[in-house]
Amino acid sequence: MTNDSSVNGCCEHSERKVNFGPGPAQLPLEVLKNVQAEFLSYNGSGSNVMELSHRSSAFAKIIQEAEQDIRELLSVPESYAVLFLQGGATAQFSAVPLNFLNLKSSQTADYLVTGYWSEKAAKEAEKFGKINWVVPKSDKYRDVPSESTWKLTENSSYFYYCSNETIHGIELEDIPSIVPKDTPIICDMSSNFLTRSFDITKFAMVFASAQKNFGASGLVLVIVRKDLVEKSTNKSIPVTFDYKVQIANASMYNTPPTFSVYIANKMFNWTKRQGGLKSMNQLSDKKSKVVYETIDQSNGFYMNVIENKYRSRVNIPLRIMKDGTANEKLESLFLSEAIKANMIELKGHRAVGGIRISLYNGVSLQETTKLVDFMRIFQKNNS
């Protein structure tokens, strides 16, 4: 079961702070200590993992175990490849259209843009061909327009969306139902990956960068249907972006980010030990509930503008209000007082301002409760 005690160990280790950052994010203390214990000599090898050859049997075991664990956690069938690639999720913004834009006769892909990250992905894809924006561009992302208003391409090569917009705090819990069955669905799950269960067989591909829920930056996990990769006819894909090459070489066409894969392996194992995605889902529910309750019971002192249905359980942006407007002075005071109370990385993204609370798997319920207690006291002292 989920260990609701202080998983990052803020209270057990005097220098550790509670980190509510959007990523790179806090990891469980248990995992960090385990890495520390193996730092100088991994498993009797006399070397750190980052000093081992990626062709060594020790590293082969690490990457294979990581793949097995993710297959187990998500029930990934053999018809999908699991790849550990470089360049973060951003590299996939280019790799996806390069590999799949020519899949169908329309030579067009549909992009559902619901915030900063799906917008970036759509703009990148436009460099490679025709992209259809399913809903009109917005300058204020607060909800997702109803599916009945979506404009889909007939015979689209794929449908792309982001299941959790990390900056705007918009999460789509359900897979869009309006997408035709034979249109491959591709999803950027970077910020809510491993926080809930999902049926991988409903997707052609999902990808997630590691630095939020499973470790160290630079690494991106790609789970992709092998038959679709086979269908791609683009012969001009830069080699490290070419899924065919990566599958044929088991993610080791060149040197993979070995240390990040090692941490991912530890995090997948930790996730399993916590009770898997069922426990992570419950934990996400509990943590986000106490934060949203605090916001909603604040009589408008704290404000989150996202429509309830799409409120993210993982990234919660909020403004602190005074006389009906967001008050930057109060927000800076909130941030500096939070730091004094050992809680860091709460500043909102520059695109939306204010405060952002990120509640990835490495943040415990106890730590979240500490934050909401702080929020209540801050409101009492400043409203």
Q: Closer CB to ligand PMP, residue 217 or residue 249?
A: 217
As measured in angstroms, the least distance from the Cβ of 128 to ligand PMP is 18
Omega prior to 24 cis, within 30 of 0: yes
Is residue 272 annotated as a catalytic residue, yes or no?
A: no
The shares of helix, strand and coil residues in the chain, as percent rounded to the nearest 5, are 40, 15, 45
* Window of 49-57, 183-191, 263-271, 343-351 that interacts with ligand PMP by CB under 6 A: 183-191
Query: Which of 104, 110, 117, 270 is an active site residue?
Result: 117
Annotation says 150 is catalytic: no
Question: Does residue 19 interact with ligand PMP by CB under 6 A?
Answer: no
Within the chain, strands assigned E span 18-19, 80-86, 108-111, 130-133, 159-162, 164-165, 170-171, 185-188, 205-209, 219-225, 302-303, 315-322, 325-326, 343-344, 355-358
Residue written as token pair 């403004």: 319
Identified binder of ligand PMP from the candidate list 84, 117, 270, 292, rule CB under 6 A: 117
Q: Is residue 191 a contact residue for ligand PMP (CB under 6 A)?
A: yes
Instruction: Name 172's Cβ contacts closer than 8 Å, sequence gap at least 6.
Output: 114, 144, 161, 163, 164, 310
Q: Give the per-residue contact string, 65-104, with ligand PMP (x = CB under 6 A; - = no).
A: -----------------------xxx--------------
Q: Is 69 a catalytic residue?
A: no
Write each residue from 158 to 177 as x if it is in contact with ligand PMP (CB under 6 A), else as -, in one continuous string. Answer: ----x---x-----------
- Alpha-carbon distance of 6 to 29, in angstroms, equals 9
Q: What whole-number distance in Å separates Cα of residue 302 and Cα of residue 296?
A: 8
Nearest CB to ligand PMP, comparing residues 89 and 355: 89
Token pair belonging to 26: 């806090």
Residue 262, both tokens: 């090692």
CB of 210: closest distance to ligand PMP in angstroms? 8
What residue type is 233 in one-letter code? T
Nearer to ligand PMP, 244 or 349 (CB): 349
User: CB 15 → ligand PMP: shortest distance, Å?
Assistant: 26
Q: Which residue lies nearer to ligand PMP by CB, 191 or 232?
A: 191
| Identity of the residue, 166 or 271, whose beta carbon is nearer to ligand PMP in the bound complex | 166
Stretch that binds ligand PMP, among 188-196, 223-231, 251-259, 342-350 (CB under 6 A): 188-196
The distance in angstroms from the start CA to the end CA of the chain is 39
Nearest residue by C-beta to ligand PMP?
Answer: 88
* 304 is a contact residue toward ligand PMP (CB under 6 A): no
CA 21 vs CA 36, 54, 81, 132, 360: distances in Å: 22, 31, 31, 33, 9
Query: Which token pair is 296?
Result: 């909603």
Number of residues that bind ligand PMP (CB under 6 A): 12
List, in sequence order, the alpha helices (H) in the chain. 29-37, 57-74, 88-100, 116-125, 226-231, 243-248, 258-273, 276-296, 328-340, 365-382
Residues 195, 209, 294, 379: which binds ligand PMP (CB under 6 A)?
209
Contact residues: ligand PMP, CB under 6 A: 23, 88-90, 117, 162, 166, 188, 190-191, 209, 217
